[in-house]
Amino acid sequence: MKTLTKQSMQNTRGLFNFVVLFVMLTGLAMNAQNNPVKLKYFGTAGWEITDGDITVLVDPYITRAKLGTGPGVSSDDTRETVLRSDIFVSDTLLIDSLITKADFILVHHSHFDHLADVPYIAKKTGAKVIGTETTRNILRGYGIPEEQLYPVQGGEDYQFENFSVQVIPSIHSALNDKHYIDSRTYTETPNTPLKVSEFIEGNSLMFLARFANHTILTMASMNFVERELVGQEPDILLAGVNRSQLGLYQYNERLLKVTNYPKIIIPTHWDNFRLPYGFSQQSGVNQKLRPFAEDVKRLSPETNVIIPTHLGTITIE
């Protein structure tokens, strides 16, 4: 009787193990098909995007320097004021608390609020950095090894081992009420460390990043070259939303139409990046994001606009 019981228990265990293995394998297969993509918002135009396999950072600007004394700076922010003529210093403690690994870093342009923390992050993670010649030369100046740097100008479509990304030529926000232009680039390695003002634009890009189950079209300015986006059908659009798109002709209409009315739109670069994390960004939500979301609802009722919060993670199945 004892033996029988033992045997039947063994059979049961065998069956149990088989079921567990089956469920695990099915789970793996399901996972491979249904990998959700997770987007963590660092504020400004900064993101960490992962599909569970690879981790991609987009314009990761963590330091959020207290720049100047004008609008956008709070007297409750007790940090030291940084001027444009000051050497930029990354808040490495804060970066270390938020970023542990990265396979790729996509850089849209070389202004400080996109690139200034990348030298430290690239060194720390060993991530491959894809950006303009100016971005490449600045990072060279900070001693990032050549094999980590992929200089692009827009038009490239690169396949890596486990990730592919199309690089799209773009243009910068129409700053200074449409009087902005800056055609300077670094064609050689500049002396580092750079001052805040020495992080020049150096041309602007967009990226179509392809993850396991999602294609994400990234912006980091409130502007785009319409002809370069013809035929794009991303399922997620990180849309540049701020005041500087307001002076552009039918920005929301043209952007939604040329990207074929994406299912999900997440506004980016809308916050006040002179304030540290933890400070209220509600005025930006009320004054920029709500009107944008309402406009998208009118233009594309099926589109879901997701409003990101600092350091919050958005999971998309």
Q: Least distance (Å) from Zn ion to the CB of residue 112?
A: 8
Nearer to Zn ion by Cβ, of 150 and 273: the residue is: 273
Q: Least distance (Å) from Zn ion to the CB of residue 283?
A: 21
Query: Six-digit token pair at 309?
Result: 């919060």
Exposed e or buried b per residue across 3-23, where buried means at least 16 C-beta atoms within 10 angstroms of its C-beta: eeeeeeeeeeeeeeeeeeeee
Nearer to Zn ion by Cβ, of 111 and 214: the residue is: 111
Nearer to Zn ion by Cβ, of 90 and 134: the residue is: 134
- What strands lie across the sheet with 157-159, from one edge to the other? 157-159, 164-170, 204-210, 215-218, 236-240, 264-268, 304-305
Pair 128, 104: CB distance under 8 Å: yes
The site map against Zn ion for 223-262 (x = CB under 5 A) is ----------------------------------------
Nearer to Zn ion by Cβ, of 111 and 136: the residue is: 111
Nearer to Zn ion by Cβ, of 111 and 140: the residue is: 111
Quote the distance between the C-alpha of residue 240 and its chain's center. Answer: 11
Q: Least distance (Å) from Zn ion to the CB of residue 288?
A: 17
Closest-approach residue to Zn ion (CB): 111
Query: Six-digit token pair at 7?
Result: 């045997």
Q: Least distance (Å) from Zn ion to the CB of residue 198?
A: 14
Among 232, 231, 230, smallest CA distance to 218 is for: 232
In angstroms, the first-to-last Cα distance of the chain is: 51
Nearer to Zn ion by Cβ, of 103 and 133: the residue is: 133
What's the rounded Cα separation, in Å, for the pair 96 and 104?
17
Q: Least distance (Å) from Zn ion to the CB of residue 111?
A: 3
Q: Least distance (Å) from Zn ion to the CB of residue 180?
A: 9
Q: Which amino acid is at 189?
A: T
Give, as ranges, the residues between 95 and 114 that touch Zn ion (CB under 5 A).
111
Nearer to Zn ion by Cβ, of 111 and 274: the residue is: 111
Query: Six-digit token pair at 69?
Result: 């004394």
The site map against Zn ion for 295-314 (x = CB under 5 A) is --------------------
Based on the shown chain and the rule CB under 5 A, indicate whether residue 40 belongs to the binding site for Zn ion: no
Q: Least distance (Å) from Zn ion to the CB of residue 171?
A: 11
Among 266, 239, 310, smallest CA distance to 43 is for: 310
- Residues lying near Zn ion in the complex (CB under 5 A) are found at 111
